[in-house]
Structure 1
């Protein structure tokens, strides 16, 4: 058996004083988001690799991996939660090393299921306290004031659902800015820890690219509104050191997801947003997503997403929005448009519609 400990991305710098075996944990132990543990891989499921520092680590049954407890909300993959008590088996919910108990699975992963784990021990410090990645960075978190957002122009990248194209939209928007010599940054504000999104934005031209995992969060699912607003302020502080003209902020999943809806219906948060780009997977989600945003008094500056790969879908959206909603000014931008920098720079300073 290979007993080398392979570390997930949130545990790269974790060096525990020792491991506290499950037998030594109190029976009423309640795990918290960010708690660090070492697990034995029992059976490989959906996740065959663990994202560590700079590369993916292949994992096999018998491997020991260091991960953190967290939740996950992914409509096209897994829904999972932190266990309320010690379990005989745990599940790898995300490739970045997020562990919990699976609640539901998208049908395409039902057969293979999650990678199954056994807890070897909780990582503890020299005082015998369980190491928690969120608590280790708590002193770096800034209280939300909104001031950092007003030092730049925030463009919010939203989507109708998971895999609607919002990450690609954000990255190509950044690429278009870079081509025009405009300094921009990228922030992934909510979601589950995995570096692919921020890496894509950086590769396509962002001066700096960061996400919530930098401050120890394995996931933002079920975080409080105050926590997310504080993360927003903190991440903006990070990127504002480079004085970007624009900061593209992506919020994970769809409009009806808990944290997304919470932020979009918060007028204080929305007052810090300069523009919104909305991505959709098809014409129906584009149209009804727009209607939802307008009902929430939010007017996007442009539409994009997977539907823009089809001229027919674009035609359908135009026919409805231009003729039925009288939104003749609403640009629909595909990836080529975004990459060429065809972004409506001059727009209202706030995306909150006037009552």
Structure 2
């Protein structure tokens, strides 16, 4: 088997040599997912090289320097500080390879080589789209220039992550933990979680928040911060660009480690979001396993409509979880909320009502079996 080609730059006179690559890395647009690498590059962009060739096979989390070939569905890239950067054809961009599962957007996977690929999430993920929602346009096209490497080898997000999985997790002593799950993506989980953080904070509690699974992006963590969380973590802090296709033991370890780390800041409550819907693979792993029942004290369920609310509550109960309330997009419609309330024996609470201290505090009360 031939060995990967190591090149300092894409072949161009102005980029020739190690110094040229340093300049290009400093000038390249960085993504939210590569924010920890970006900090290292800001400190010193030298000492890096690119790996290319037919035997270079990327894996999830590998960092790739790409060139934008065509602007499509995602014309902007979220920066390390969550600014929406406009993309132009010819831009060089640092992204992370990833798999993505997003029913309202795309299904995408890490390719088997460094051939043409797509921008699969504005947070800064590269992959190949294999299926897309009918309303989604053609993807933004990328030309990978090589995997980023240094003297120790190829670079992966895990190398720069500030957090690692904790083999001692979960903690024996922890504060009250609320998990927010939902019928699907865009069911209102993140907003409900943020409003709950706000309500508990307004009640005088110190609240930490986390996003256990999902697709790397800064919007939800920053939303939790804006709501008043004293500490916020998500899976990207552990080096994962997404959690799609992680094995069950790793998903469980991630959930336990995040709750353990959030507990270290001394909060009186923790709110965590589990992304996508109850039938999504990693969510189902957590839902049907024993860990979530020992890790979580309260479940808040976000639904898109009344039928989804009723079906979801049934799925949760079958898995051994008794939801404390239903919220989310179903509550945007007074009629849909009334339909759900008529069929359910759990409260249906408006998303923004969760931001009220008295409403939020009621969710911490024990739920009757």
Q: Same fold (TM over 0.5)?
A: yes
Corresponding residue to 2:138 among 113, 129, 154: 113
Alignment partner of 1:18 is 2:48: yes
1:139 positional shift: 7.6
What stretches of structure 1 move > 6 A for 4+ residues in a row? Answer: none
Alignment partner of 1:83 is 2:111: yes
Question: Cα 1:141–1:297, aligned 2, differ >3 Å: closer, same or farther?
Answer: closer
Cα offsets for 1:45-92 (capped at 9, x unmatched):
1111111221222211000000111111111111100112332x1111
Which range moved further: 307-316 or 90-99? 307-316
Q: Give the structure 2 partner of residue 324 of structure 1.
A: none
1:294 positional shift: 1.5
Tell me the distance in 2 between the aligned counterparts of 1:298 and 1:186. Answer: 20
* SS of aligned partner of 2:128: strand
Task: Say how many residue pairs are matched.
Answer: 335
1:181 positional shift: 0.8
8 Å CA contact 1:155, 1:248 repeated in 2: yes
Tell me the distance in 1 between the aligned counterparts of 2:138 and 2:351. Answer: 34
Cα offsets for 1:265-291 (capped at 9, x unmatched):
011332111000001011110111111
Alignment partner of 1:262 is 2:285: yes
Q: Give the structure 1 partner of residue 148 of structure 2.
A: 123
Which range moved further: 13-22 or 258-267? 13-22
Alignment partner of 1:143 is 2:167: yes
Q: Kindly report the root-mean-square deviation, in angstroms, between the aligned alpha carbons of the 2 structures.
A: 2.0
Tell me the distance in 1 between the aligned counterparts of 2:220 and 2:291. Answer: 26
Q: Give the structure 2 partner of residue 61 of structure 1.
A: 89
8 Å CA contact 1:136, 1:216 repeated in 2: yes
Cα offsets for 1:217-257 (capped at 9, x unmatched):
11000011222222223322332232111111101100000
8 Å CA contact 2:33, 2:217 repeated in 1: no
8 Å CA contact 2:256, 2:295 repeated in 1: no
Alignment partner of 1:336 is 2:352: yes
Question: Cα 1:13–1:290, aligned 2, differ >3 Å: closer, same or farther?
Answer: closer
Cα offsets for 1:9-53 (capped at 9, x unmatched):
23234346333253xx3x343211111110000001111111122
Tell me the distance in 2 between the aligned counterparts of 1:160 and 1:13. Answer: 32
* SS of aligned partner of 1:253: strand
Q: Give the structure 1 partner of residue 72 of structure 2.
A: 45
Tell me the distance in 1 between the aligned counterparts of 2:35 and 2:288. Answer: 36
8 Å CA contact 1:49, 1:58 repeated in 2: yes
8 Å CA contact 1:144, 1:230 repeated in 2: no
8 Å CA contact 1:263, 1:270 repeated in 2: no
TM-score, scaled to structure 2: 0.86
TM-score, scaled to structure 1: 0.89
1:332 positional shift: 1.2
Tell me the distance in 1 between the aligned counterparts of 2:313 and 2:260. Answer: 31
Tell me the distance in 1 between the aligned counterparts of 2:32 and 2:317. Answer: 38
1:138 positional shift: 8.8
Tell me the distance in 2 between the aligned counterparts of 1:145 and 1:12. Answer: 26
Cα offsets for 1:102-128 (capped at 9, x unmatched):
01111111xx3111000112111124x
* SS of aligned partner of 1:34: coil
Corresponding residue to 1:134 among 158, 169, 174: 158
What stretches of structure 1 of length at least 5 have no aligned partner? 322-326
* SS of aligned partner of 1:117: strand
* SS of aligned partner of 2:154: coil
